């Protein structure tokens, strides 16, 4: 509740247009309604067609279906469901139209992807084929939030020429999401080549002294390139979400 | 070296305006000069007055002085030196004009801070007084790279009202840098309140099971708020640098 | 065995009312019987109707049934069995009346829950739906030990308004159990809002750099709010047990 | 700001006794002033004579002196300063009366310790002489917050008879603070003997595989005794603070 | 090969009773045959009836059967097979007489257990029922190597009286094996009560901040009691083996 | 692209034998084509008959079949597929001739193993039978890359005589691959005996404080013997690959 | 207090030879006096001339002097003070006769070392010169407790021949203390050669991935040789103490 | 002692040319003298002029001087002393001729560096200036062992063009030592470019989540490039030593 809204309520009370009890209720609830989640809702409302996201892990198929149907009824044009297993996904099939399920990243999409309305293009770069599930989660999240996404999926540092072949794509990106497991060197190498923000996503791909993604995580946090920040291991959604935030800043 | 420059060299060779040897040299060196560092240089050149940065830790006072003087001669209008101890700083005193040294963050600034030319305002928020040195490194870095910075330095989550008092400032930021040690909850709480990107900087402030910043680092990586990414422990410079990148995107 | 009891035995021996052998037996066993477990038993006996607890993990269904039946025969009015899987629970079904099984927290309750006889109300607060199993273990334990419990299950820090909506409930609690996974910020935020003791329960909910609850554990141990203490990861029982101890102190 | 206060403001506006602007200011500031810190202040005010606490680590001697003098002027009858080194303490000497400095725990006390007004007695138990600095921080904190404290300082588990000699003291405590380094077994042994809450404080005392307190911390978190909760390594203050909260519950 | 044996071979060569080639072979093989394994064999031969041990984990049922039959044929009177799953054990059934399989510790015993011929009695003490599998591995190993073993299986530190009830047993032991998971305090408490060597076995029993036995391991390594040494997590065999070595020292 | 090739292109442009556009294309693509992977290809071409390697983990059976068939068609004489499970391997059976599958190391070999053409012999030494799968991956990799390999598979340090029996083999090796789990002492002991490079492979064999290979890894990194380097836990392929590189150096 | 002593007291009460109050006192105090420390005292008394030990770390010079003088007065013939720095040691000089200070292990010895009265000889083996301080602490402790000690200080596994040169010494030991830093392989190699108990002492000697002794600690806990147990990093005293216990078993 | 030597001794005994006692002595000592260190000595003797190495850390200046003088007297032409501090080095000054001290890597060299007699050239590549001390230790070690070394000291991955400028040098190396701190990406990038063995040296350069070199260590162990092996953090000597072994293989 901003200064103006509060003043209006108080003027109404003063003028006898609103009872003290009603004002009391409005004032007590308003700041909290206004803080956080709801404010994000309003902001989102400004960008029609943009998706809402359901985090599927730890929810039952029934819960996911229920939330999806409520959202659909509320008129959400596009719903992105991350980390939903093929077993759970069966319950959604045939219930929505349009609908698709991307098995590699375990993502379901209900409704129509929005038009891209961001500042520029988001590049999702990844080194090995095993990193693709996380990369796709990032890419689909960014697309569902209204971004143009370019996927560069064969550009690991052990074959540097493939990365350098895509220098122009990298150089012209607004934000780059660098997804890598094992030693996570991709983030540093890309960070040293470009001058846009790089969001690094360590993956749990690897074995042994990889310690479930710890090696890539530490590597990325210690990047010798400026302009690199990091999200949680395997957190493709988080990277796609922040990249979209950055790519839509010019619109604010 | 882009397509156009290369074509020009080849045309010159074809027309006899450039010898094969000279072209040979130019082509071999150009791509590498053009990749990475140099490209950043040119990009920077477009934003006159913006600072170059010297990482002071691990360099001798003499090395820092030498690099600073070379940069000065090359015409760099503002030089930011991070992590330079008071002892080393003595050697710089009286050599440059204007010059100032910020002891709390151990940062020296040679020349005039550039005008702020970014998209909006960067907020640097921190909870405890012990986190201020890292926060100041972030804030000064952002200012030296041409950003308007608002410092909110008394807003830790154990006194939530102080944070909520600054909701308007948080809501209107382009990027927020959340600096926190101990349990690092500040990043999640801010990330849940705003809809702009949050760059979280864990600090090594604390003791015991803090393990030199590990607790804040893990906390921030696991933030339940979307839109939060993380840099290395105590890496105020990195956060300020990436925040500036994001804040200048609209200019590209 | 306190001074008085010992004196009585010795007097009896002196007066010939007790044989040396009998006294010998009583003295040797008494201190140990009196120390620890048994003493707790007596204490418990003072609070009729309060539950005894069986830790189900690592016991066979047959063992659990056996212990339960023995307790029942000894007249224990309410038996709480924690961490009992649905498979093991089958053996208990139909054997006791009243009986219920709470699948979400894997807890079985034999007999009637006791009346709440504590000082005030215990609040169990949790942020995400994935933390509910641990929260329910805490809440049921507290109820089985004779406490009034209020569950606040949708109050994570990424939607701060939902937490603030329940400020009155938080403020009036005797003890608060804060259950959270991921970054565990809930404990710090609640600890900063209230002036009663907060028992923090880190959960293993999360992935990647969560390291099975390590991030929430470290976060809670480093809480910047005073008055927060921590139990083991996922230890809902321990939190409920200590909260009940605190809530019954005034009765002693 | 509770319902009643808000209603009063609105009534005043309605009746023309308060201007809209004035009301506006009051409403916006009140909830935040009222949440958290300030609310604790008021609560404290109810218990006259109770100390305020300054965390000395990371503050300069000048800052500590300044805060202390302000508090003194505000009429705070007792000020506890934790983790203040002998060097910094020199600046305080002679400035306050009464004043004392406890070198072993590096704690300064300005003013008169309050009368004990809690429910019962807090026992601070510790095994080795090296754990005494942390124990004293806990004990002095509890005393400064108005609690009667009994120190049991020679009761480690490697000499079990000394602990058992104090069974009566342990049994009659309201809360026990168990301070131990090395293997931290003291908390489990005490927790198995008593039926009151035990707050365990791991200390960094030890060497080698102690890893600066990690061994005692993990040991205490995994205590096989119910009713034990844990604070950060070496956090005597936190344990004393929570113990005081528990010991004063009956007064609420 | 000791000095005397070598001299004898050389004398034989000198005297022509042994060919140079034969001596050559004997000398080259002897030292190595004599070092380590074989020497243990000879030593063992002195204690007729003592078992040989097969480590079952990582071997196929067929391999275990093969080794067992070879040993049997070589006349080994008792064979102990550790960590053999019920599935693999099926292949051994009915092949040997006498034969028994202890499912709780997953140990098979072929042949007759030897008479106890050690210095005194080995006590295996354990706190919780979940630690019994590891304790049984230790106890059976010690028995198979010719030791009298007393099992004390209900003596955890959270019920100290049960431990103290067995003080006489503990005091009269030659060696004590203390098996404990969770916080591992049992080793320290026993170590503080007795004056014989204590071998501590941390177990992986527990959850959360137990980190698969790390808490008990660190706790035991940091024991404040002198005379405690530690083996690997869950290594009941190793503890039983070393305890037997110690208990048979007087025989050498 | 080396100096000579570039000069030739430029000469062609100068002489009008190549259009500017064509030259432009050649120059831009050449350096990257020439860097890395392709260059390795050419190098490999010099050693006819040597295998190409497919890393099977994380690839579907169909992908492995596809890559294998393409390689076969390209004329690769020997294809080594590492970490391919028995289930996936079924799809390859009967498709290639010659073909074999080594179940113990989960390695498939399509085509004929090349002749050994290295400098000398590679020794693969391992202590326990559980380490053999990793050892075989190393040995088969080295053989497939054209090396003579000697396997010493029963030479752990707990039976030192077996290792010393093979001193001559160890002494005459060009490179030794030391594979060991548990405490990883084999690498240090071998490293102290020989004067050739030792590549140490820690394995995840063990339990408890082994922490999935961490103990062997740290042990090997801290080897007191000079001349030992280490690869990732269980990385038999990496060790075989580097050993082959070293063994073929003399051929360059 | 055993059955017989208790019966005697009760008989005395019954017969009127002891008052109830006196009996009361005796019974309450006896068990605790009898448990633990005191019992060890009595045991020690049986072995006249054996040293008492003061752990010097964390005690002031004055405290050490005080305790030493009290012990001296009580008639303790030999006092061993471990971990006493040269600075603190100055205060002891000239106060006792005989007296000596071993700077390398920072150990002071007041009085005359006792005669060796153990079963056999304790061998203290160490690899590098940097491990000697810890080895000396172990050796002096064992000597002060009445053991014959053989030091083998140049027998690391990187020069295996030096270790094998001392096979006879190793083979004839009653207990071996193996002290090693870095990769800690010495314990496994010795454990594989001998058939007596080996107590392994990891040291913090090393750098980098040694992590202050963690590598040697894990290595030793995972020893592939049976009969090896481990004490804390750098805990020479603990190893010497347990070795003495074992070496004196035959005397009990 | 090989078969031939042994046979000769035995023949001598048989023929009466050697007494049994003399033979006895020769046989017992020979194998051990022949194993390990001495054997390395003989090998070294074949490469005249090559340095012997003294590890200076943990030795006193007097010890270093003593060993150096003994070596000098034994005729060692070049002595390399690693990790010798400037304070200790003072004692060596003026005692030897030729002599030099390299302060940056804390290395002293007594005598004349040997001629390079290896197979090819060793490249030591490093990214940042802070890694130079470790790099120089590697380079000087390799030179002292008779290798030609090329230093590439400004080629970190955040400025990829500088690395690519030296592709020819990298491509023509026999072995490459890649020294890097922070995220350690240099090893992977070089490993992906070349086809010779790469020895990676993680350094402790960095801060925060670097954890004293852990990030670079894990990164290098998880390198996605084949042919990379790793030595301990900051172990320049180990890398130089193994590189020399590899580079001299062709000579064997």
CA F192 to chain H, closest CA, distance in angstroms equals: 6
Nearest to B241 by CA among B143, B110, B121: B143
> CATH no. for residue C181?
3.40.50.1970
Mean pLDDT over residues B211-234, rounded? 93
pLDDT at A33: 32
Given a cut of 70, whether residue D119 has pLDDT beyond it is yes
SS3 B179: strand
> E194 or H244: which carries more pLDDT confidence?
H244
Decide if B11 touches F, using CB distance below 8 A.
yes
pLDDT at F250: 66
Q: Convert the pLDDT of each residue in D55-78 to its tens digit.
A: 888 788 988 898 888 888 878 889
Q: Which residue has the tokens 């060796």?
A: G116
- Domain-embedded: residue B17: no
List the subunits that have 3+ CB pairs under 8 angstroms with B.
Answer: A, C, D, F, H
Same-domain check for residues F91 and F135: no
- Domain-embedded: residue D31: yes
- Which DSSP string corresponds to C97-128? SSEEEETTTTEEEEEPPPPP-SSSEEEEEESS
Question: Where does residue H21 fall: left (phi above 0), alpha (psi -120 to 50 degrees), or beta otherwise?
Answer: alpha
Decide if B3 touches F, using CB distance below 8 A.
yes
Do chains H and D have 3 or more beta-carbon pairs under 8 angstroms? Answer: no
Given a cut of 80, whether residue G141 has pLDDT beyond it is yes
Contact check, Cβ <8 Å, A208/F34: no
Contact check, Cβ <8 Å, D234/B210: no
Given D62, D93, D111, the domain boundary residue is D111
Closest residue in H to G133 (Cα–Cα) = H58
Contact check, Cβ <8 Å, D36/B209: no
Same-domain check for residues C96 and C134: no
CA H96 to chain A, closest CA, distance in angstroms equals: 42
Decide if F55 touches A, using CB distance below 8 A.
no
Decide if C192 touches B, using CB distance below 8 A.
yes
Chain D residues inside the 8 Å CB shell of E189: 157, 160, 185, 189
Q: Convert the pLDDT of each residue in A117-173 to its tens digit.
A: 999 999 999 988 889 999 999 999 999 999 999 999 878 887 787 788 788 899 889
Given a cut of 50, whether residue H147 has pLDDT beyond it is yes
Nearest to B35 by CA among A195, F2, A176: A195
Same-domain check for residues A103 and A145: no
Which pLDDT band holds residue C87 (cuts at 50, 70, 90)?
Answer: very high
Mean pLDDT over residues D180-184, rounded? 91
Residue among H146, H164, H197, H211 with most chain F CBs within 10 A, to mutate: H197
Residue among D20, D24, D28 with most chain A CBs within 10 A, to mutate: D20
Same-domain check for residues G102 and G182: no
Chain A residues inside the 8 Å CB shell of F29: 165
Please count the residue pairs, one from chain B and one from chain D, whose beta carbons lie less than 8 angstroms apart: 44
Measured CA to CA, the distance from residue A219 to residue A225 in angstroms comes to 11
CA F201 to chain G, closest CA, distance in angstroms equals: 14
Decide if H158 touches B, using CB distance below 8 A.
yes
- Domain-embedded: residue C101: yes
Which pLDDT band holds residue G131 (cuts at 50, 70, 90)?
Answer: very high
Given a cut of 60, whether residue B28 has pLDDT beyond it is no
Helices C3-14 and G3-14: crossing angle in degrees, nearest 10, is: 60
Contact check, Cβ <8 Å, B234/H207: yes
Please count the residue pairs, one from chain B and one from chain F, whose beta carbons lie less than 8 angstroms apart: 37
Contact check, Cβ <8 Å, D250/C171: no
> D159 or G117: which carries more pLDDT confidence?
G117
Q: Convert the pLDDT of each residue in C33-68 to its tens digit.
A: 332 222 223 333 334 567 788 888 878 898 889 888
Measured CA to CA, the distance from residue B147 to residue A78 in angstroms comes to 36
pLDDT at D49: 60
Q: Convert the pLDDT of each residue in E181-218 to its tens digit.
A: 998 999 999 998 888 999 999 999 899 999 999 999 99
Given a cut of 80, whether residue C4 has pLDDT beyond it is no
> D239 or G67: which carries more pLDDT confidence?
D239
Q: What is the greatest pairwise CA distance in chain E? A: 74
- Considering only the beta carbons, identify the residue of E157, E183, E216 that sits closest to D220: E183
Measured CA to CA, the distance from residue F159 to residue E39 in angstroms comes to 11
Contact check, Cβ <8 Å, F160/E213: no
Decide if F129 touches E, using CB distance below 8 A.
yes
Measured CA to CA, the distance from residue C53 to residue E54 in angstroms comes to 41
Residue among A8, A11, A14, A32 with most chain D CBs within 10 A, to mutate: A14
Please count the residue pairs, one from chain A and one from chain B, whose beta carbons lie less than 8 angstroms apart: 107
Chain G residues inside the 8 Å CB shell of H58: 128-130, 205
Do chains E and B have 3 or more beta-carbon pairs under 8 angstroms? Answer: no
List the subunits that have 3+ CB pairs under 8 angstroms with D.
Answer: A, B, C, E, G
**B1-15, F197-211, G200-214, H170-184: which has the minimum mean pLDDT?**
B1-15
Question: Each residue of B7-40: b (16+ CB within 10 Å) or e?
Answer: eebbebbbeeebebeebbebbbebbbbbbbbebb
The complex's ipTM works out to 0.82
Map chain G to HEC letters. CCHHHHHHHHHHHHCCCCCHHHHHHHHHHHHHHHCCHHHHHHHHHHCCCCCEEEECCCCCHHHHHHHHHHHHHCCCCEEEEECCCHHHHCCCCCCCCCEEEECCCCEEEEECCCCCCCCCEEEEEECCHHHHHHHHHHHHHHHHCCCEEEEECCCCHHHHHHHHCCHHHHHCCCEEEEEECCCCHHHHHHHHHCCCCEEEEECCCCCHHHHHHHHHHHHHHCCCCCCEEECCCCCHHHHHHHHHHHHCHHHC
- Six token digits for residue F252: 């360059």
CA G37 to chain D, closest CA, distance in angstroms equals: 6
- Considering only the beta carbons, identify the residue of H129, H164, H208 that sits closest to B233: H208
- Which DSSP string corresponds to H78-134? EEEEES--HHHHTTTTTTSSSEEEETTTTEEEEEPPPPP-SSSEEEEEESSGGGHHH
- Domain-embedded: residue B15: no
Same-domain check for residues F77 and F181: no
Q: Which residues contact D124 (CB under 8 A, 6 or more apart)?
A: D135, D138, D139, D142, D149, D150, D151, D152, D176, D177, D179, D240
User: Do β-strands C175-180 and F198-202 pair in parallel, antiparallel, or remain unpaired?
Assistant: unpaired
Contact check, Cβ <8 Å, D36/B160: yes
Contact check, Cβ <8 Å, D157/E224: yes
Percent of chain A past pLDDT 70, that is, above it, reads 87
Chain G residues inside the 8 Å CB shell of E197: 242, 245-246, 249
- Domain-embedded: residue G19: no
Interfacial H residues in 12-31 facing G (CB < 8 Å): 31
Same-domain check for residues D34 and D59: yes
- Considering only the beta carbons, identify the residue of H3, H13, H31 that sits closest to E14: H13
Given E111, E141, E160, the domain boundary residue is E111
Decide if E36 touches F, using CB distance below 8 A.
yes
- Domain-embedded: residue B85: yes
Given A65, A89, A111, the domain boundary residue is A111
pLDDT at B216: 95
List the subunits that have 3+ CB pairs under 8 angstroms with E.
Answer: C, D, F, G, H
Decide if B208 touches D, using CB distance below 8 A.
yes
Are E165 and E137 contacting, i.e. CB atoms less than 8 angstroms apart? no
Decide if D32 touches A, using CB distance below 8 A.
no
CA E186 to chain H, closest CA, distance in angstroms equals: 34
Q: Convert the pLDDT of each residue in B123-153 to its tens digit.
A: 999 988 889 999 999 999 999 999 999 999 8
Same-domain check for residues B93 and B145: no
> F167 or C28: which carries more pLDDT confidence?
F167
Domain count, chain D: 2
Closest residue in G to F186 (Cα–Cα) = G185
Same-domain check for residues G133 and G98: no
Give the structural domain span for B71: 26-111
Chain D residues inside the 8 Å CB shell of C43: 195
- Domain-embedded: residue D2: no
Decide if B232 touches H, using CB distance below 8 A.
yes
Please count the residue pairs, one from chain G and one from chain H, whose beta carbons lie less than 8 angstroms apart: 43
Q: Convert the pLDDT of each residue in C107-137 to its tens digit.
A: 999 999 999 999 999 999 998 888 999 999 9
Chain C residues inside the 8 Å CB shell of G16: 14
Same-domain check for residues C226 and C187: yes
Same-domain check for residues H227 and H158: yes
Given a cut of 90, whether residue E133 has pLDDT beyond it is yes
Chain E residues inside the 8 Å CB shell of C234: 207-208
Same-domain check for residues C56 and C164: no
Given a cut of 90, whether residue E72 has pLDDT beyond it is no
Q: Which residues contact D192 (CB under 8 A, 6 or more apart)?
A: C36, C37, D224, D225, E156, E157, E158, E159, E160
Measured CA to CA, the distance from residue H32 to residue C38 in angstroms comes to 65
Same-domain check for residues A51 and A136: no
* Ranges of H-type helices in chain B: 3-14, 20-34, 37-46, 61-73, 86-89, 132-144, 160-164, 167-171, 185-193, 214-221, 236-247
Instruction: Work out the angle at residue F190's Cα, subtended by the Cα atoms of residues F186 and F194, and round it to the nearest 5 degrees.
Output: 170
- Six token digits for residue C93: 């079904």
- Domain-embedded: residue B205: yes
CA D211 to chain A, closest CA, distance in angstroms equals: 21
Do chains C and H have 3 or more beta-carbon pairs under 8 angstroms? Answer: no
């Amino acid at each position: 509740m901003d200064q103006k809204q509060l003043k209006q309520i108080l003027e109404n009370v003063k003028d006898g247009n609103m009872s003290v009890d009603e004002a009391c209720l409005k004032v007590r609830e308003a700041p909290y309604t206004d803080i956080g989640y709801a404010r994000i809702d309003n902001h989102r409302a400004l960008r029609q067609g943009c998706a809402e996201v359901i985090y599927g892990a730890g929810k039952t198929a029934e819960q996911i279906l229920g939330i999806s149907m409520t959202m659909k009824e509320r008129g959400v044009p596009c719903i992105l469901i991350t980390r939903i297993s093929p077993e759970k996904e069966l319950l959604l099939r045939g219930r929505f139209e349009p609908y698709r399920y991307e098995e590699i990243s375990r993502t379901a999409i209900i409704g129509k992807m929005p038009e891209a309305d961001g500042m520029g293009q988001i590049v999702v770069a990844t080194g090995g084929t095993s990193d693709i599930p996380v990369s796709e989660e990032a890419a689909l999240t960014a697309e569902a939030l209204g971004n143009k996404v370019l996927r560069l999926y064969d550009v690991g540092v052990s074959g540097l020429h493939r990365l350098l072949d895509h220098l122009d794509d990298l150089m012209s990106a607004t934000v780059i999401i660098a997804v890598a497991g094992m030693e996570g060197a991709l983030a540093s190498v890309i960070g040293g080549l470009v001058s846009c923000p790089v969001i690094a996503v360590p993956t749990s791909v690897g074995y042994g002294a990889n310690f479930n993604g710890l090696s890539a995580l530490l590597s990325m946090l210690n990047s010798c390139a400026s302009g690199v920040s990091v999200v949680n291991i395997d957190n493709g959604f988080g990277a796609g979400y922040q990249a979209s935030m950055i790519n839509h800043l010019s619109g604010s």
